[in-house]
A and B are shown apart, each in its own frame.
Chain A
């Protein structure tokens, strides 16, 4: 996983609530068996409309997405995170994220930042007034800075440390293999097993 410490970039304001995972990456794009190349499917249907915010010239190269509440609702597809990253987004700000999307984003190194809706609206107004204005997400200080405004955000210490250091969860868990084995020794024998396949 790539590290995330401090990122500064221009903003794409997405003034919509309930941006579900089928909008972020439609199901027809999920047939790939690799992790790469999903950027072309990002918001595929909306991008067909010339006035969609991502299509505007002043938003070209902007890599901070700022969206309305319930961002990432719906399916568990991590492809939604990969599509945002592959397109170039480093961070997404919203007043509410769906749980599974949030978990996926933090696992994959896309920092999702929770801010109150009033602050989201303030960022929208600032970037719409001046699309060249830059926003900084500072994970070290847990701050969002734009123009003269500074907003604090919360992220649990564990997730923050993983992102700052780019740590791999599986390696961390393997450090506790003895505890996993000790737990397994206590599991009741009536718990089901998929193998061997029972004979009908």
Chain B
């Protein structure tokens, strides 16, 4: 029987297989940031162990960094965490891109732009959004701090096997519908636990037609559907993106790599444990109305009535969500007023996302009562956007042009919602308090974010 893409990559990384034990997998790339690594380095120090393969390891600073004045980290606890990472990297010989470095940024934006993320690789990071990096046709998954220490010490991880799921998106997306809408629709379909235990492979015409940026957005939110990893078979789009990047193979090595990468696809006779099919032609812009990413609906619909949920657990969750979100059942989502727009994060902080939003904001103004933050995913993205004049477009529209970091995706740095504030956010989690205590989050695409900024209500570009 044939194998799926994920199974091929898994098999190629098995260091040891024995009865009654999980497989021991080799890890090709380990990415670090300041939040989940300090206790792992402490563990190494206590045991007197070195980092086994510094040449497969790289660190950057993203969660705690300020985006307004990067020379001034006002929170002393954040400062200690960043300084701890710098000290650990110096002590253990790990490459780091710190605040102010041209390669600094969100770990999952930095990896691809350096060309370090390539097809067929196993990649880990102490961050659930490592799933992003499967977009290049590798196995990329988030791990906890004990596992970070394990990989630092051994460059391997014992892993229990995954099940495989295909999500096939057939047809063509309509104008104004983006990769973000695909993944929000997928999660609304399968639920936050639907992917538990699975690696998802995204397939089909609509996925093939996505740019690398779009594929990264889709794979990013695999974890929001409960899957630890999402992957997409590499193709010409992947190779084109990689060619010439600082860490892409060169010359004969490039040819050898591409020859191998072309073997990375699911065999025709391979069988997935679960299959989901979505019709791209039917998709419209999606937004979330609740407090988990599965509580989403088309923007053209209304806030659902909890009484309509057949399942008692889902009904209770919907009731709690509406209460927290301050929403009434039956309200058209287009009438929901927002006062903050966040464009950025590892989900939608890449150059293509900024271009799309800028195109909508060009010649328009952000509504008077709305604050819009535009936060590039990396220092490189910021420079590139400035080279294209996008910063001017955002500033002229009345949005704030910030430095790179995780920013308002999570309440770990100065960019937060105040209690009761409501955002249209291109990030990935709408949990209670995720963007600041008492803050209310609607997850949206960059196009919906920009249009909502102009109208002050959840909107799509077609409403302008």
Contact A193 B56 (CB under 8 A): yes
B55 adjacent to A195 (CB under 8 Å): yes
Partner of A98, one of B156, B196, B437: B196
Binds B, one of A57-65, A122-130, A136-144, A175-183: A175-183
Do residues B412 and A31 form an inter-chain contact, with CB atoms below 8 A?
yes
Cβ A197 vs Cβ B95 within 8 A: yes
Question: In the complex, which of the residues A22, A34, A107 contacts B147, with contact meaning CB atoms closer than 8 Å?
Answer: A107
Decide: A76 and B144 in contact? CB cutoff 8 A.
Answer: yes
Does B339 reach chain A (CB closer than 8 Å)?
A: no
Partner of A30, one of B160, B254, B412: B412
- Chain A, residues 81-120, CB within 8 Å of chain B (1/0): the string is 1000000000000001011100110011000000001000
Q: B26 touching A188 by the CB < 8 A rule?
A: no
Do B57 and A183 touch across chains, with their CB atoms under 8 A apart? no
Assembled-state Cα–Cα distance A73/B150 (Å): 23
Chain B residues whose CB sits within 8 angstroms of the CB of A69 once the complex forms: 193, 313
**Are B47 and A70 within 8 A (Cβ)?**
no
Report if B71 contacts A (CB, 8 A).
no
By the criterion CB–CB under 8 Å, are A45 and B226 in contact?
no
Q: List B contacts of A76 (CB < 8 A).
A: 36, 126-128, 130, 142-144
Q: Shortest distance in angstroms between A108's beta carbon and chain B's nearest beta carbon?
A: 6
In the complex formed, the residue of A with least CB distance to B196 is A99
A27 B81 Cβ-Cβ under 8 A: no
Contact A107 B146 (CB under 8 A): yes
Expressed in whole angstroms, the Cα–Cα distance for A63 and B193 within the complex equals 26
CB distance B95 to A195 under 8 Å? yes
Within 8 A of A (CB), among B267-319: 291-292, 313-314, 316-317
A-B contact pairs, 17 of them (CB 8 A): A18-B292, A26-B433, A30-B412, A31-B80, A33-B42, A69-B193, A78-B39, A98-B226, A100-B128, A173-B153, A174-B153, A191-B28, A192-B115, A192-B118, A192-B247, A194-B54, A194-B58
By Cβ-Cβ distance, the 5 closest A-B pairs, closest first, are A104-B144, A78-B144, A33-B38, A76-B142, A190-B257
Beyond the given A192-B115, A193-B247, please list 10 additional residue pairs across the A-B interface where CB-CB is below 8 A. Answer: A17-B313, A32-B77, A33-B81, A68-B313, A69-B193, A99-B197, A184-B155, A192-B28, A195-B55, A198-B246
- B: residues with CB less than 8 A from A are 15-16, 20-22, 24, 26, 28-29, 35-36, 38-39, 42, 47, 49, 54-58, 63-64, 75, 77-78, 80-81, 84, 95, 115-116, 118, 121, 126-128, 130, 142-147, 149-150, 153-156, 158, 160, 192-193, 196-197, 223, 226, 228, 246-249, 253-254, 256-257, 260, 291-292, 313-314, 316-317, 320, 410-412, 429, 431-434, 437
Residues of A within 8 A of B (CB): 16-18, 20, 22-23, 26-28, 30-35, 45, 68-70, 73-79, 81, 96, 98-100, 103-104, 107-108, 117, 156-158, 169-170, 172-174, 176, 179-180, 183-184, 187-195, 197-198, 200
